[in-house]
């Protein structure tokens, strides 16, 4: 084979599958081969699978990967640099690679590097004895791209010695001009990425005063002419279990006595979060642990909500609600006269029972949300991170959240120690004991 062009639309005819077939037919199994991987977007999982599949066919010498630094944020993998270090260690210790280097590149004026090309080249560089292979393609080093699990790509394969040499030389040139000579731009992009990873990994919390009772209340809007005339002591309204609240008549049909309210204790917000201008920030290491230890309790809470909002019970509640509505309409007290008013309430309650985000708000007593900005919103990210750092700086004593953020800034890692986990568990144990009293 000198050259070959094909469409890659499935795992069976993907770029990696072709590389495997070429290695099987052309590689000298006694020699080592280097992998040269040039991509815009890098997925560590896809890189790992590519290495494993090719290592099953040939001995791996070096692995050289170049990727655009600004595309890293699109992944769900947090702390990209840590993931890179992990795969470098894995490749050497488990795959037998003699060398591996992941090189971040970026345009000198902020341009996106969008090229994708891959090469398999003998480590000894003896091209006359063992020609290598180069691939020019549209496929990124991702599962949908190079592994053919989702995209339709095109690829040109060539084992011409001069083209393989040219590819290797160009790889060096790209890394030199877009990395070594562009270190400031790379550093700025990496700093921005690290900030975004820290912020997008955790959650923001705001105290929420709502309750299951208020969320499931059935409300009838008062007509204007009666808002000032109705008295709390109206006997019929009292018999119907109605209360006057903010221009409406409210009926609590669903009992909330069996629904526990487990607010995050004030000490948790003080010791395990940091104030920002959009809410208190809880780092991922802490919040993931809190969710893990409360998963069983939350599922129990959710089941109780499901039980009290079953279709059978809601049908009975709706029958009662329609009777109440009928009496209010007869007296001209409400503007909520349409027959769908009660049906909409039923749908609202059912939706609540199926919504883990809203249930989580009820369970924790906090509004929790992820960072509301995209990676591209550089000014907002810088402003938000600055407010986080200012709060940390102003603290006389650094709490656990502050220490985890500082660790993440330095090393990209912020795992909890056993002692730190115990300190979090202690806070919730004290809360549980207080609720029993």
Same domain for 231 and 334: yes
Same domain for 160 and 223: no
Residue 275 resides in a domain:
yes
Number of domain units in the chain: 2
pLDDT, residue 230, reads 61
Q: 51-64: per-residue pLDDT in tens?
A: 999 999 999 999 99
**Which residues lie below 8 Å from residue 7, measured CB to CB, with a gap of 6+?**
13, 152, 153, 154
The domain in which residue 382 lies consists of 202-436
H helices present in 94-182, as ranges: 161-178
pLDDT, residue 270, reads 86
How far apart are the C-alpha atoms of 155 and 4, rounded to whole Å? 8
How far apart are the C-alpha atoms of 420 and 164, rounded to whole Å? 53
Same domain for 220 and 135: no
pLDDT, residue 432, reads 65
H helix count then E strand count, the chain: 17, 14
Which pair of structure tokens corresponds to residue 224? 């204007």
pLDDT, residue 137, reads 96
Please, is 312 exposed, middle or buried when counting C-beta atoms within 10 Å of its C-beta (0-12, 13-18, 19+)? exposed
Same domain for 227 and 136: no
CATH number of the domain to which 93 belongs: 3.30.870.10
Please, is 85 exposed, middle or buried when counting C-beta atoms within 10 Å of its C-beta (0-12, 13-18, 19+)? middle
Residue 189 resides in a domain:
no
Which pair of structure tokens corresponds to residue 28? 């000298």
Residue where one domain finishes, among candidates 152, 182, 212: 182
Residue 29 resides in a domain:
yes
Q: How far apart are the first and last CA of the chain?
A: 80
The Cα-based distances of 81 to 2, 15, 77, 88, 406 in angstroms read 38, 26, 10, 11, 16
Which pair of structure tokens corresponds to residue 101? 């280097």
- What is the per-residue DSSP string for 261-277? --PPPHHHHHHH-EEET
The Cα-based distances of 328 to 226, 338, 342, 344 in angstroms read 11, 12, 13, 18
DSSP label at residue 192: H
Residue where one domain finishes, among candidates 182, 213, 247: 182
Q: Give pLDDT < 50 ranges for the chain.
A: 76-78
Same domain for 390 and 285: yes
Residue where one domain finishes, among candidates 150, 182, 214: 182
pLDDT, residue 77, reads 41
Same domain for 178 and 280: no
Residue 193 resides in a domain:
no
Same domain for 48 and 146: yes
Same domain for 353 and 260: yes
Q: 92-148: per-residue pLDDT in tens?
A: 889 888 899 988 888 777 788 899 999 999 987 655 555 799 999 999 999 999 999
pLDDT, residue 56, reads 93
Same domain for 164 and 101: yes
């Amino acid at each position: 084979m000198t050259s070959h062009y094909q469409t890659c639309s499935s795992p069976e005819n993907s770029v990696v599958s072709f590389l495997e077939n070429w290695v099987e037919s052309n590689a000298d199994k006694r020699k080592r081969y280097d992998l040269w991987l040039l991509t815009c977007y890098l997925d560590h999982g896809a890189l790992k699978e590519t290495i494993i599949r090719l290592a099953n066919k040939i001995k791996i010498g070096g692995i050289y990967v170049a990727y655009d630094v600004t595309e890293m944020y699109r992944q769900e993998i947090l702390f990209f640099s840590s993931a890179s270090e992990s795969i470098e260690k894995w490749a050497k210790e488990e795959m037998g690679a003699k060398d591996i280097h992941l090189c971040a590149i970026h345009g000198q004026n902020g341009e996106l590097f969008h090229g994708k090309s891959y090469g398999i080249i003998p480590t000894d560089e003896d091209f006359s004895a063992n020609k290598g292979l180069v691939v020019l393609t549209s496929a990124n080093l991702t599962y949908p791209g190079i592994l053919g699990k989702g995209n339709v790509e095109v690829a040109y394969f060539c084992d011409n010695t001069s083209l393989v040499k040219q590819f290797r030389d160009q790889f060096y040139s790209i890394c030199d001009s877009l990395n070594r000579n562009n270190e400031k731009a790379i550093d700025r992009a990496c700093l921005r990425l690290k900030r975004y990873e820290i912020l997008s990994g955790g959650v923001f919390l705001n105290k929420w005063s709502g309750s299951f009772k208020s969320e499931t209340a059935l409300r009838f809007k008062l007509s204007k002419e009666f808002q000032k005339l109705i008295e709390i002591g109206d006997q019929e309204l009292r018999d119907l279990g109605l209360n006057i609240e903010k221009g409406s008549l409210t009926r609590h049909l669903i009992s909330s006595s069996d629904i526990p309210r487990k607010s995050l204790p004030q000490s948790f917000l003080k010791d395990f979060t940091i104030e920002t201008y959009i809410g208190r920030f809880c780092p991922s290491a802490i919040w993931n642990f809190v969710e893990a230890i409360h998963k069983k309790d939350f599922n129990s809470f959710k089941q109780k909500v499901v039980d009290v909002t079953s279709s059978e019970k809601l049908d009975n509640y709706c029958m009662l609600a329609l009777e109440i509505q009928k009496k209010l309409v007869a007296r001209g007290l409400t503007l909520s006269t349409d027959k769908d008013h009660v049906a909409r309430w039923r749908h609202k309650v059912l939706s609540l029972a199926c919504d883990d985000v809203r249930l989580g708000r009820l369970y924790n007593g906090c509004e929790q949300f992820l960072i509301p900005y995209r990676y591209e919103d550089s000014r907002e990210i810088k402003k938000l991170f600055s407010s986080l750092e200012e709060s940390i700086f102003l603290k006389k004593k650094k709490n656990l959240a502050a220490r985890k953020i500082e660790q993440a800034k330095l090393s990209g890692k912020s795992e909890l120690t056993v002692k730190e986990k115990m300190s979090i568990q202690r806070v919730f144990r004290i809360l549980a004991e207080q609720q029993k009293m």
